[in-house]
Chain A
Amino acid sequence: MLLPRFDFHDPASVQEALDLKKTYRENARILAGGTDLLVHLKKDLVSVEHLISVTKIDELLKIEEKGGDITIGACVTMASLAASGLIGEKLPALKQGAQSLGNHLIRNKATIGGNACNASPAGDTLCALLIYDAAVILQNSEGAREVPVSDFFVGPGKSCINDDELLTGFRIAVPPAGSGADYIQLGKRKSSEINVVNVASYIEIDPANQNILNARIALGSVAPTPIRGAKAEQVLAGKTADDTVFFEAAEAARRDDCKPIDDFRGTAGYRQAMIGVLTRRTLAAALAQAQGK
């Protein structure tokens, strides 16, 4: 359980970090909170020659609202996200995700960029990023590009980030009035948990007739990456929001959208059943929020 030997870099700006990334490419790993990477290094699950720490770069620590968008720097910690009034008010499911991750100590270190780059199917903020349709901002020394978060995850622990790129943040359009979102994670205990299943739902309704204008559902721990519940979303499209349609959507999510496996944290059968329960519950909570309840 000793850390292996590596060279440690502590750049003060994004540019400096990108220069380092360009030089060392696949031989370098980005270190943010370290709550996953340092554990993997100690367990000898990953090897690395260079660690580039990005936690001292001020521009990666900001949460800002500008022109209808909220941008969140990659190094914003779970604790800061959970404490942010802006996130709590406008992106409540993301706050819930941040609050659910690990425990107090881990939330003080773990970052949202790290949670995304670790690309665990069970990642606590990832379902929220999916339902808010976040854009992932990736930079290299040449410039920046944006990738929809639904395209970002490629497999367990894998994303579409290139060797010379740094994830600098996320851009999320502020949800309109008449929308609501919710996140629920389910584990064996109430803290320090690695999820057995986790679900987030977003819903936008026409206040005049309760018709669903837009719905997004994200399912965690039931596929190689966090996924959107496409079939469940189709069930909801254009319908009037009520318990019956939510039940149908939950059935679609359970039956058609998720592809869970058996592992030591839980069986596929239980995960599938819980996708149904949590989809229904998150939709109901999201609707209540959309209705201003």
Chain B
Amino acid sequence: MKDFDVIRTRAHRLDTPDKATGKAVYVDDIDKPGMLYGALLQSPHAHANIISIDTSKAEALPGVKAVVTSKEAGSIKYGVSPARYDETVFAIDKVRYVGDEIAAVAAISLEIAQKAVALIEVEYEILPAVFTIEDAMKDGAPQLHEDFPKNLCAEVHHEFGDVEKALAESDIVKTTTVKNKRQDGACIEMQGCIAEFDRRGTLTLVSGTQVPHYVQRTVAMVLGMDIGKVRVKKPYVGAGFGIKASANPMELACCILARETNKPVKMNYTRDQVFKLARARHGFTHTITTGAKKDGTLMALKHECWLDGGAYSSFGIATVYYAGSLLGGPYKLPNMKYDGYRVYNNKPTCGAQRGHGAVIARATFEQQLDMIAGDLGMDPLELRVKNMMEAGDTTCNDLNMSSFGMAECIDAVRNGSGWDEKKGKMPNGKGIGMACGFFVSGAGYPIYRSDTYHGTVIVKLTEDGGTALVYTASAEIGQGSDTAFAMIAAEALGIPLENVRLESGDTDMGVDLGAYSSRQTLMTGHATKEAAEHAKAQVLEVLSGLLNVPVEEMDIKNGFIEFKNETPDITDIRTRYIKEHRGWIDNPDSEKLTFKEASRMAFLEKGSIVGTGKYKPHLLGGKFKGAAVGTSPAYGCSAQVAEVSVDVETGQITIERITDAHDCGKAINMTSVEGQMEGSVSMGIGEAMHEEVMFDDKGNVLNNDLAEYKIVTSMDMPQVDAVVVESDEPNGPFGAKEVGEGAIMPTIPAILNAVYDAIGVRVFELPLTPERVYWAIQEYQKKAG
């Protein structure tokens, strides 16, 4: 094993002092002199034509500084994927869901802004609305977007190998359908932003976003500005989970209000508005048919999926691809067919959420694997071991597993949970279940078609030589990326972590596609490593000249210069360094030459030492249409075992324990890896057990707060035994890859399989509320007589 000094430790996070003392600054903590407050007018109707908008009363209200509608905002369409730009900042002639933006007001107080919003008069012609996939697809159903007949937003048809033939050759063929419900990301921090123009026309947008880069591009496009005149900065952010991975209409409205008023404008979503914006997990209906041989060998997978998309596309095109492509692994599966459909309707728009597109597909498939194992009389864990992929394998849809610790993950949860002692031996009402999964370590391609670098990083050494400054446009959103990159820079430079400072989340610092698709550790990590190595090389080059020692015979480790062969005389350098710092008390007296001295010498010779780094993935496989979605330079994989008890009289499930193993390549920060694993389990349990966005028959969200939308509380969280499995990823910086999303994959199916083990009842609809489980048990008992 390689010898590391900084990474693979449990370093304290850089943001801990700020967050632990409450000093961390989030958007809403920021005030600007002369700042105005913005508020949005959103449609109260799910589907209506706009006949007229009268803003005169709102404009007349004292304290109101601007009222803007599509007249000011224009008609430029934007969205996530350029192939489906289908949104405008404000509705032009029609609204498509309860919450569609119509106008915005800036005023000297939030109270006045809200009052003014209520004074805007809109005349609507109410249109019939559709809220389900079935209704939206009916002949003659109301159409949301002219260009998309039958409200079909996107469809995907893929076949690899020959599925029908392989199914015919299978000894066992199983078909099931699983349905989930729409989720909400439930980020603790609701979206907020402040937009401000300076006197030279430069716009700065401070926003709680995961993706400063994409927000910058969208703002520039919609406002018709040069990208260089738009700066997007991200302060501390209270989570994203995918919901904040694209520009939102409030950010755009805020920029337009700032332009119209020439003042800084702040806007925030309320929790209700967060539910209206949505952009979280789709509602999926998966029908999967799997064929296997008697010995458990998987032969083929036939898969149809319908996505309840909502009013606009958002990430939906990628979602419908991911829902199919990410069943290609982690098992050897020579034949796979996928038909996916995403359907528009008059509800809020779904988008990307942790485990993008793949979570419910995974749940459906992993539950089915258990059913097949049951029919074959095999231990479901053994069925998975038999079929799992290994490092170097490529899926039928061209995803290459350059490292893959699946076997180690399964072993870890088998031993950690006591699987062999428990499986099949638990009393009635108690059960154990397992599942596996894998996920991309960064999307192989940017959201817009481009040869751009996915990340650039600058490492600058301070003139005294003692500190390295890391500048990255990446997004720390609570996951710990700042700390990871500071650790990578320290490791690559050969200096202690405390000698690294880091600034991030600002588009002026470079290009970084942001915190989504579990990309930053691998991609920004690569760029950081390269930038640090570049700075290090410059220092060693100067030192080589001064000491007359070849560069390749020197190294930097723990802040000291190491010489492979004979240690040269360092007196001249030390004397020179100390002379420049008369009166300083921290002059070096170590036997070894310090990095500080060497770096100071480099500055004296060359001026600022600046290292630059960049990253984009190598050419990734797949020539077929849609191959880009699912490709990645690396894949993380995981296995989990859930232990549950079920109260058969009430349907209440208690999750007693989760044993979780994840292969993240080399762990940069061990504690952060475990944190991501535990967070994934928590989100997975919420989705499995009680999360569900509910609507009335007019398209209003019924449970639009965190009292009624039920995320996991600390009281619901079981003990989680997180086992970090470390492979060595050849395409990752220091061998690292993802953990943020892959770790959620097995949670839901492991619980479903454990519930079956406990009570013998299969449930095919989520969430597993006590009521749903109760009725499933009732039905089962009725059938059993």
Separation of A270 and B649 alpha carbons in the complex (Å): 11
Chain B positions within 8 Å of A265 at CB level: 708
Tell me if B690 and A189 are in contact (CB < 8 A): yes
Q: Quick one: CB contact mask for A109-130 with B, threshold 8 Å, 1 for yes?
A: 0000000000000000000000
Tell me if B702 and A191 are in contact (CB < 8 A): no
Say yes or no for A196: interface residue by CB 8 A criterion.
Answer: yes
Q: Quick one: CB contact mask for A265-287 with B, threshold 8 Å, 1 for yes?
A: 11100100110011000000000
Tell me if A194 and B713 are in contact (CB < 8 A): no
How many residues on chain B are close to A (CB under 8 Å)? Answer: 28
Say yes or no for A15: interface residue by CB 8 A criterion.
Answer: no
Separation of A2 and B268 alpha carbons in the complex (Å): 12
List CB contacts (< 8 Å) of A182-210 with chain B: 186, 188-194, 196
List CB contacts (< 8 Å) of A156-202 with chain B: 186, 188-194, 196
Smallest CB–CB gap between B779 and chain A, Å?
13
Q: A-side binding surface: helix, strand, loop or mixed? A: loop
Separation of A103 and B711 alpha carbons in the complex (Å): 13
Chain B positions within 8 Å of A264 at CB level: 694, 702-703, 708
Smallest CB–CB gap between B300 and chain A, Å?
38
Whether A192 touches B770, Cβ cut-off 8 Å, given contacts A270-B775, A274-B650, A277-B649, is no
Say yes or no for A45: interface residue by CB 8 A criterion.
Answer: no
List CB contacts (< 8 Å) of B240-277 with chain A: 270-272
Q: Quick one: CB contact mask for B667-697 with A, threshold 8 Å, 1 for yes?
A: 0000000000000000000000110001000
Separation of A192 and B649 alpha carbons in the complex (Å): 23
Tell me if B710 and A189 are in contact (CB < 8 A): yes
Say yes or no for B295: interface residue by CB 8 A criterion.
Answer: no
Say yes or no for B771: interface residue by CB 8 A criterion.
Answer: yes
Whether A191 touches B771, Cβ cut-off 8 Å, given contacts A1-B270, A264-B694, is no
Specify which of B650, B690, B775 lies most central, judged by the most chain A CB atoms within 10 Å of its CB.
B650
Say yes or no for B585: interface residue by CB 8 A criterion.
Answer: no
Say yes or no for B453: interface residue by CB 8 A criterion.
Answer: no
Separation of A277 and B715 alpha carbons in the complex (Å): 23
Separation of A141 and B114 alpha carbons in the complex (Å): 40
Q: Quick one: CB contact mask for B701-744 with A, threshold 8 Å, 1 for yes?
A: 01100111010111110000000000000000000000000000
Separation of A194 and B710 alpha carbons in the complex (Å): 10
Specify which of B270, B649, B703 lies most central, judged by the most chain A CB atoms within 10 Å of its CB.
B649
Say yes or no for B774: interface residue by CB 8 A criterion.
Answer: yes
Separation of A277 and B771 alpha carbons in the complex (Å): 13
Tell me if A189 and B689 are in contact (CB < 8 A): yes
List CB contacts (< 8 Å) of B75-124 with chain A: 110-111, 114
Smallest CB–CB gap between B180 and chain A, Å?
16
The residue on B at minimum CB distance from A273 is B774
Tell me if B271 and A1 are in contact (CB < 8 A): yes
Separation of A277 and B708 alpha carbons in the complex (Å): 24
Which single member of B272, B716, B771, B774 contacts A189 (CB below 8 Å)?
Answer: B716
Chain A positions within 8 Å of B702 at CB level: 264
Smallest CB–CB gap between B772 and chain A, Å?
9
The residue on B at minimum CB distance from A271 is B771
The residue on B at minimum CB distance from A106 is B707
Smallest CB–CB gap between A191 and chain B, Å?
4
Tell me if A186 and B271 are in contact (CB < 8 A): no
Separation of A94 and B652 alpha carbons in the complex (Å): 23
Say yes or no for B769: interface residue by CB 8 A criterion.
Answer: yes
Tell me if B716 and A270 are in contact (CB < 8 A): no
Chain B positions within 8 Å of A1 at CB level: 270-272
Smallest CB–CB gap between A65 and chain B, Å?
32
Smallest CB–CB gap between B192 and chain A, Å?
13
Chain A positions within 8 Å of B708 at CB level: 194, 264-265
The residue on A at minimum CB distance from B772 is A270
Q: Quick one: CB contact mask for B594-630 with A, threshold 8 Å, 1 for yes?
A: 0000000000000000000000000000000000000
Chain A positions within 8 Å of B111 at CB level: 2
Q: Quick one: CB contact mask for A59-74 with B, threshold 8 Å, 1 for yes?
A: 0000000000000000
Chain B positions within 8 Å of A266 at CB level: 771
Separation of A219 and B22 alpha carbons in the complex (Å): 43
The residue on A at minimum CB distance from B712 is A189
Tell me if B690 and A190 are in contact (CB < 8 A): no
Separation of A264 and B694 alpha carbons in the complex (Å): 8
Smallest CB–CB gap between A154 and chain B, Å?
24
The residue on A at minimum CB distance from B654 is A190
The residue on A at minimum CB distance from B769 is A188
Tell me if A191 and B703 are in contact (CB < 8 A): no
Tell me if A270 and B774 are in contact (CB < 8 A): yes
The residue on A at minimum CB distance from B708 is A194
Separation of A1 and B707 alpha carbons in the complex (Å): 15
Tell me if B690 and A188 are in contact (CB < 8 A): yes
Smallest CB–CB gap between A263 and chain B, Å?
9
Chain A positions within 8 Å of B770 at CB level: 186, 188, 196, 270
Whether A190 touches B694, Cβ cut-off 8 Å, given contacts A1-B270, A264-B702, A270-B775, is no
Chain B positions within 8 Å of A2 at CB level: 110-111, 114
Separation of A274 and B769 alpha carbons in the complex (Å): 14
Separation of A273 and B781 alpha carbons in the complex (Å): 15
Separation of A266 and B270 alpha carbons in the complex (Å): 26
Separation of A63 and B136 alpha carbons in the complex (Å): 60
Separation of A103 and B715 alpha carbons in the complex (Å): 9
Tell me if A186 and B714 are in contact (CB < 8 A): no
The residue on A at minimum CB distance from B269 is A1
Q: Pick 8 A–B contacts, CB within 8 A, sort by A.
A: A1-B271, A186-B650, A186-B652, A188-B690, A191-B716, A264-B702, A267-B771, A277-B650
Across the A-B interface, the 5 shortest Cβ-Cβ residue pairs: A191-B715, A190-B715, A191-B713, A188-B690, A270-B771
Where the two chains meet, the residues of B that have a C-beta atom closer than 8 Å to any C-beta of A are 110-111, 114, 270-272, 649-650, 652, 689-690, 694, 702-703, 706-708, 710, 712-716, 769-771, 774-775
With A188-B689, A189-B716, A265-B708 given, can you name 6 additional A-B contacts, CB distance below 8 Å? A189-B713, A192-B706, A192-B710, A264-B694, A277-B649, A278-B650
